[in-house]
Structure 1
Amino acid sequence: MKIEERTFIALDLGTSNILAYVGRQGIVYDEPSIMAYDNITNTLVALGQDAYELIGKTNENIRMEIPIKDGVITDLDAARDMLKHVFSKLKMLNEWKNSIILLACPSEVTELEREALKQVAYDMGAEIVIVEEEVKMAALGAGINIEIPKGNIVIDIGGGTTDIAIISAGDIIISRSIKVAGNAFNEEVKKYIRSEYNVTIGDKTAEEVKKELGSLAKYKGERTMSVFGRDIISGLPKEAIISSEEIRNVLVNAFSRITDLLIELMENTPPELAGDIITNGFMICGGGSKIRGIKEYFNGIFSVPCHLTANPLTGVIEGSKVWQKTINQRIDNDYYGKNAKSVKKGSQTSYL
């Protein structure tokens, strides 16, 4: 089958959201990576945004499933079920037949985890499956020309992981990944409010507090916010008044782990690329780049220019669209067969 006759599908299987792009149609799905099942019948009750609205408000017969955690598929059956329901809902299941699939994954996903990712695509009917690192796709989506021999540091702060990479001459030179990102920030907010105010709040409330008050530097219009939860002593509903400064201190403490990882990566940077990094600075991508003051935070520590991507939530997909041209050229030139390990499964081929 000719390349142009195959459907190109790119998937950003995030911990917080799943995005699906179908060639010539655009992004067809962008919703939370969560599912709600009925424990009695084991049937799907809600998916995506509908399931997200049920968090913390269901009875004991409803269980919530998140098949992708910290950038890794933890439940293969649930992940397969999610994709089938997503594309069935969109009436696009046939698009998978003989398709070319690009899967974006975190930098330090193991070979076994990559195989699990590919297995999902195989089971959906894909013919060719290509796995690329999220941070590389995010760099392309941010408009970086990764083909030229100049070093760029990309910091991709997602929901489950933060990936940091130095990219030059078409590929990743060195990369690191840490499970400190959006969800971890929410957990830190929950811990702080519990310890300081004896109030337990849910994940959705913590996310709202982070979005409304979160910052890494002082900003105009700082304020307080009422948060409602359960008193851990009396068990009764209780209100807490939280300030922007409090949440800033929580986030700065959490970000210190990302900073440490960035320092480690820079210490291992080839000397020839150090000058490029000083000139080009950092490109910050992913949903975490929307936190107020993030440019000032990194600039204050490293004294280099910091740039924010224009499309933080869809950057990986935008990069995948750019990379499609390279994939087609490589398939035409039998690049993958000559230069990569090829895993065959019947008529299906996976390229690493």
Structure 2
Amino acid sequence: MNENVFISLDLGTSNVLAYVAGQGIVYNEPSIMAYDNYTNSLVALGNDAYEMVGKTHEGIRMVIPIRDGVISDLEATSDLLKSIFARLRMTNSWKNSIVLLACPSGVTELERDALKKVAMSMGAEIVLVEEEVKMAAIGAGLNIDLPRGHLVLDIGGGTTDVALISSGEVVVSKSIRVAGTSFDMEIQKYVRSEYNISIGEKTAENLKKQIGSLVKYPGERVMQIYGRDIVSGLPKEARITSDEVRNVLLNAFSKITDLLIEVLEATPPELAGDIMKLGITICGGGALIRNVEKYFYDIFQIPAKIAPDPLNCVIEGTKLFQKTVERRLENGMYKKTRMKDFF
């Protein structure tokens, strides 16, 4: 392991996080890129590109290379990783590296292979793919190696994953493409239908973060927003209440509730008892929505808690999982990844 650098990546729809052994988390920025349409060159990425959302001209196109845990643009994903590590002056770290990629449980083998190919094109020697929700559980501080059932709910930007984990592995898992980005889209649709105003992704996200909730809370307020009147095309403003945003979120969360029910129905009886005692651990950006833990407790009458630092659970889990990777390497459990393995 000495000659191989350990790199782990949480390639999310909302954010990309990168960890390099010995250096910690070296990158944590939005997974969005801006390209010049005329030269097809990369103009900006991360925070710089995010600042450009909704404010560009026709000569610039915004690209999110990874949507719902799936590479939607292979070339852009490669550009993204190369640009991140070039900016950090760490491109050489990839040579003969061991790369751990965290991805949603619903990702297909073809999609996993696409992720592996990107890492290999950067020079990785061994490429491993683990479920995000498993890494999130480790990052949340759960001892998943014990023969005890842990129910983990990871509400990310593109996907929501639910998994029952025991004895170090996932027993049952389900994934749905309903998460942070789709919450924002539903808020946009609501404002358009109720107020005839077209608002941007950032405005919808701000509504969700600032006044969104799943259960009524003291001091609820109204937020003033600005957009474009879809009839006249002129700028227009509206006042949106917490109650309105909550109703939109509750509708979207009903699908996540159904997903949890599916996992609970497939849970072995002995592990069901553990869930009653240990409850649900909530990770990801969706854990930051006000009263999310109370919402799930009210429905299932099962204790629900938000993980410490829910946004970074996955990448923190990959850091801790490094020791397991090292142990398995010593036992010869991993082999070098080769391009011909995919054909």
TM-score, normalised by the number of residues in structure 2: 0.98
Q: Which runs of 5+ in 1 are unaligned?
A: none
138, 160, 163: which one aligns with 2:161? 163
SS of 2:127 mapped into structure 1: strand
Q: Distance in 2 between matches of 1:319 and 1:66?
A: 24
1:100 alignment partner in structure 2: 98
Aligned counterpart, 1:230: 228
How far apart are 1:264 and its partner, in Å?
A: 1.1
Matched position secondary structure for 2:48: helix
Once residues 55 and 146 of structure 2 are traced to their aligned partners in structure 1, the CA distance between those partners, rounded to angstroms, is 51
The number of equivalent residue pairs is: 342
Aligned partner of 2:199 in structure 1 is 201
- Cα distance in 1, alignment partners of residues 25 and 339 from structure 2: 28
Written as runs of structure 1 = structure 2, the 5 A alignment for 1:125-136 is 125-136=123-134
What amino acid maps onto 1:273 in structure 2? L
Aligned to 1:18: 16
Matched, 1:273 2:271: yes
Give the unaligned 5+ runs of structure 2. none
Q: CA-to-partner distance for each residue in 1:77-130, whole Å, 9 max, x for gaps?
A: 100000001100010000001111000000010000000000010000001111
Deviation at 1:63, TM superposition (A): 0.5
Q: Secondary structure at the match of 1:336?
A: coil
1:278-297 to 2 correspondence within 5 Å?
A: 278-297=276-295
Q: How many Å apart are 1:343 and its aligned residue?
A: 5.0
SS at match of 2:225: strand
CA–CA distance in 2 between the matches of 1:326 and 1:169? 14
Structure 2 equivalent of residue 39 of structure 1:
37
| Whole-angstrom distance in 2 between the partners of 1:77 and 1:38 | 15
Question: By how many angstroms is 1:233 displaced?
Answer: 1.0
- Structure 2 partner of 1:139: 137
Please give the alpha-carbon distance, in whole angstroms, between the structure 2 residues aligned to 1:344 and 1:196. Answer: 54
**Hey, what's the Cα distance between the residues in 2 that align with 1:289 and 1:115?**
30
The amino acid across from 2:164 in the alignment is: I
1:122-144 Cα distance to aligned partner (Å, 9 max, x none):
00000111100000000000000
Aligned to 1:242: 240
CA displacement, residues 22-41 of structure 1 (integer Å, 9 cap, x when unaligned): 11101111111011011111
Cα distance in 1 for partners of 2:273, 2:149 equals 8
Map of 1:110 onto structure 2 = 108
In structure 1, what is the Cα distance between the partners aligned to 2:65 and 2:333?
A: 33
Percent of residue pairs bearing the same amino acid type: 63
Letter in 2 for 1:334: G
- SS state of the match for residue 5, structure 1? coil
Counterpart selection for 2:322 from 318, 321, 324: 324
2:46 to 45, 48, 51: 48
- What CA distance in whole angstroms lies between the structure 2 residues aligned with 1:205 and 1:194? 12
SS at 1:227 equivalent: strand
> Counterpart of 1:256?
254
Q: Paired residue for 1:152, among 131, 141, 150? A: 150
* CA distance in 1: counterparts of 2:288 and 2:53, whole angstroms: 24
Give distance in 2, aligned partners of 1:283 and 1:108. 20
| Amino acid aligned to 2:250 | V
Tell me how far apart the structure 2 counterparts of residues 59 and 246 of structure 1 sit (CA, whole Å): 32
4+ runs of 1 displaced by more than 6 Å? none
The one-letter amino acid paired with 1:27 is I
Measured in 1, the distance between the counterparts of 2:272 and 2:57 equals: 55
How much is the aligned-residue C-alpha RMSD, in angstroms? 1.2
For residues 273-332 of structure 1, the C-alpha deviation after alignment (integer angstroms, 9 at most, x for no partner) is 110111111000001000000011000000011111111111111100111000000010
- CA distance in 2 between counterparts of 1:132 and 1:148 reads 19
Mapped contact 2:178–2:256 kept (Cα < 8 A): yes
Letter in 1 for 2:239: I
1:344 to 303, 327, 338: 338
